[in-house]
Amino acid sequence: MIDIEYEMKQSEITGQYRIILDKLLRKRDLETVLFLRILMETGLRSREVYSLRPEDIVHRKVYLPMKYWKFYKEAEKSMGVFRISRRTEQIARAVEGGRKRYFTRSHSYYLAKIKRYRTDKRFNLHIMRNLRKKIDWWNAMGKMNRKAVRD
């Protein structure tokens, strides 16, 4: 039997994201909520999010450690700096609690938890990351078009 992965619409992806977030918030699992929110807002790989430390998030900016810069083109993100929302920053401060790491459990624990709460089997973290990359691309193209119109 061949397993065919069908492409999901943006509304379906964000819908699944919201469903998973709601379930995690009801369970009060802030670590997994933080993990998922950073994934969605930045488009980072899950291993990179897992390796983040409190000193990497400052004033709504995520500073990616240098060892991961090679995976991103300079045009894609300026020197490993990604923006997050105020709410995500608040959750990060709450989760930190004086520890040196945000995530206390294994990387696979967070992936399995997200997978367990999805309702659409097509949803996965790669689709979410690709959506973020497309949104960033659309924003960049919009800026280029606005700049061309002004000139």
Dihedral of the alpha carbons of 45, 47, 48, 52, in degrees to the nearest 10: 140
What is residue 27's predicted lDDT score, i.e. its pLDDT?
Answer: 93
Which pLDDT tens digit goes with each residue over 58-69? 888 888 776 666
Residue reference for tokens 């379930």: 23
d(CA 53, CA 65): 10
The structural domains of the chain, ordered by start, are: 10-143 (1.10.443)
How many CA atoms are closer than 13 Å to the CA of 10, on its beta-carbon side?
A: 5
Q: Give mean pLDDT, residues 66-75.
A: 59
What is residue 73's predicted lDDT score, i.e. its pLDDT?
Answer: 58
Amino acid at 147: K
CA distances 74 to 58, 69, 117, 137, 139, Å, are: 21, 9, 35, 13, 16
- Look at residue 83 and give its three-state secondary structure: strand
Q: Give mean pLDDT, residues 127-151.
A: 73
Identify which of 59-63, 79-83, 136-140 has the greatest average pLDDT. 59-63
Phi first, then psi: what are they for 83, rounded to 5°? -95, 145
Tell me the torsion sign for CA atoms 59, 102, 32, 75.
Answer: positive
Beta bridge partners of 123: none
Beta strands in 12-96 (DSSP E): 57-58, 61-63, 81-83
Q: Inform me whether the pLDDT recorded for 74 exceeds 90.
A: no
d(CA 121, CA 31): 23
Which pLDDT tens digit goes with each residue over 28-37? 989 999 999 9
